[in-house]
Structure 1
Amino acid sequence: MFKQFTLSLMAGAGVYASAASAHFQMLYTPELLRDSGGQITLKLPFTHPSESGHVMAVDPPQAFYMVKKGKTTDLLNSVKPAKWTSASNTGDAYEADVRLRGLGDYVFIYEMAPYYEASEDIYIQQITKSIVNVGSLPTDWNQDFGLKAEIVPLTKPYAIYEGGTFTGVVRSEGEPVPFAEIEVEYVNYEPDMATNGFAQEAKIEPPADAFITMTLFADANGTFTFGIPKAGQWGFAALGVGTDTEYQGKELSQDAVIWVQAHPVN
């Protein structure tokens, strides 16, 4: 009843939640909080990280750039084809090498090409953010970039304790999206940067399938909070919150994705 009500509210505002679920555009590097800069590699598979699921082949991204202290650097030419291996398959993916120079936040924004999900007869496009910090100096992490679909963090996404919380606001072109539906997945199979694939063994055993992809809703102001029970990286995908709702004559779910990292308490 509540879900039907909230979806009706979003439809009235021109926002449609996608029927497709558990798809996550990864923007992965092992450590989002670094002591120093230098070159990092970002792995960019479109997959199901909580269950080491199917890797989906997607056309090259429409945009990829980095923002640091208000300056935008186009990274699209750094993207190169790669393979990614899951428990399900080895599929086409992408990766990029980027050099970090100086202290502060490096906000990476990756706009994947729309992906046709045949089982749903819809397209999915995820606009993904991941923020890498160097030297614990905060600069850009909580900026609203006015994206078509965006999760703006209210918690530093790289400085969360295991057992802490992450709070964000779902926005579309700077405006809050009320009652947005948000899927949450844990990167339960450690990505291997050398072999381009997930580890064979899971880090945790979910108590039921309902924990593989968890769902929550933002409030009337587009704000949500999620308690993070385990160290590692977590993905949040706000479904169908973007301004674009159609692609090549079919429904488009334009999703906002952000990745955060929780650290163990020693």
Structure 2
Amino acid sequence: MWKQCCATLALVCCLAVPAQAHFGMVIPSSATVTDKKAADLGLEISFSHPMDMQGMDMAAPRAFTVTANGKTENLTARLAPGSVMGHKAWKAAYRLNRPGVYQFALEPAPYFEPAEDCFIIHYTKTVVAAFGDEEGWDQPLGLKTEIVPLTRPFGNYAGNVFQGQVLLNGKPVPGALVEVECYNRDKAHAAPDAYFVTQTVRADANGVFAYGVPWAGWWGFAALNTAEEKLPHEGQPKDVELGAVLWVEFVAPRGR
């Protein structure tokens, strides 16, 4: 009887804890570049739980691109194995040779999550502005799903309100669920309890959401939808979670 009670209590405790959010991550060494000495970007690519700093092994991405000045360049061949949070990840280097707004976009291989009994595919973006140019940051890339920023996605202070629009197949998603987490890289922040780890907002009827960023750092916005098609796993068709993920840096102002 005692063992049964313990087992039941453990199950209740597990069910009482909110599920961890997954985030595709593309984190550049800088979100703004104004000096040619900083023109060589490093990009860290992973699939992780950023607030809890828990990594997951990431398979080789299907595609990695950069779009700037009206052109898209395939960077997939530049990806090299790396490690993030102690797990298999990827890295890339890219030199900014001219002024522009550079949109980096990742399409990962589908990841099967046993706890949710579904596949996860997070189309992930981040934006880097270089040498004074800031044109085109609100241009969609035509991904399967993506967040189009309505607030400039660079040069933002901590405390700013960020807005974005969720698109799926190029169309706004009314009422889209958007999960928000900080990349707690230095483990400087501790959540009061599990409910605080992932912040959650709903988009409006036009797929537009807003979030006030409480502290400095890299913040990820993940809009989640279910694909119409399914993928097979061990002979059974499984749902596919499509995530539109955007990473934006928010910076604390410098003191006098």
TM class by shorter-chain length?
0.7 to 0.9
| Residues 133/261 of structure 1: CA separation in 2 closer, same or farther (3 Å cut) | same
Aligned to 1:197: none
What residue in structure 2 maps to residue 226 of structure 1? 211
Counterpart of 2:73 in structure 1 is 73
Shift of 1:205: 2.6
Distance 1:244 1:93, change over 3 A: farther
Identity of aligned residues (%): 38
TM-score by length of 2: 0.85
Q: Output the CA distance in 2 between the equivalents of 1:204 and 1:119.
A: 27
1:174 paired residue among 165, 170, 173: 170
For 1:261, which of 232, 236, 249 is the aligned residue?
Answer: 249
Q: Which runs of 5+ in 2 are unaligned?
A: 1-17
Question: Distance between the aligned counterparts of 1:148 and 1:176, measured in 2?
Answer: 12
Contact (CA 8 Å) 2:43, 2:93: kept in 1 or not?
A: yes
Q: Which amino acid aligns with 1:246?
A: K
CA contact (8 A) 1:183 1:216 kept: yes
Describe the SS at the equivalent of 2:195. Answer: helix
Tell me the TM-score normalized by structure 1: 0.82
Report the alpha carbon displacement of residue 146 of structure 1 after superposing the two structures with TM. Answer: 2.1
Return the alpha-carbon distance in structure 2 between the equivalents of residues 59 and 186 of structure 1.
23
Task: Report which of the two has the higher share of strand.
Answer: 2
CA distance in 1, matches of 2:207, 2:181: 19
Matched, 1:209 2:208: no
Matched residues in 2 for 1:125 and 1:244: separation? Answer: 13
- Aligned residue type for 1:64: F
| C-alpha deviation, 1:209, in angstroms | 2.2
Query: Contact conserved, 1:188 with 1:203, CA < 8 A, in 2?
Result: yes
User: Do the aligned residues in 2 keep the contact of 1:150 with 1:170 (CA within 8 Å)?
Assistant: yes
For structure 1, the residue ranges without an aligned partner over 5 or more in a row are 1-18, 191-201
**Larger Rg over CA atoms:** 2
In the TM superposition, 1:93-172 aligns within 5 A as 93-172=89-168
Distance in 1, Cα, partners of 2:117 & 2:191: 30
Give the drift of 1:20: 6.8
Per-residue deviation, 1:251? 0.7
Among 185, 189, 193, the alignment partner of 1:189 is 185
Distance change >3 Å, CA 175–CA 49, structure 1 → 2? same
Secondary structure of the residue that 1:260 maps to in structure 2? strand
**CA positional deviation for 1:165:** 0.8
Partner SS for 2:77:
helix
CA pair 23-171 structure 1, distance change in 2 beyond 3 A: same
Give the alignment's Cα RMSD to 1 decimal. Answer: 1.7
Give the C-alpha shift of residue 216 in structure 1.
Answer: 0.7
* Distance (Å, rounded) in 2 between the aligned partners of 1:142 and 1:181: 21
Question: Is the CA contact (8 Å cut-off) linking 1:51 and 1:189 kept in structure 2?
Answer: no
- Tell me the distance in 2 between the aligned counterparts of 1:136 and 1:225: 26
The Cα shift of 1:235 comes to 0.1
Return the offset for 1:244. 5.1
Structure number with the bigger relative contact order (C-alpha 8 A, sep ≥ 6) is 1
Once the two structures are superposed, what CA deviation does each residue of 1:202-229 show, in whole Å capped at 9, x if it has no partner?
2223233222111111001000010011
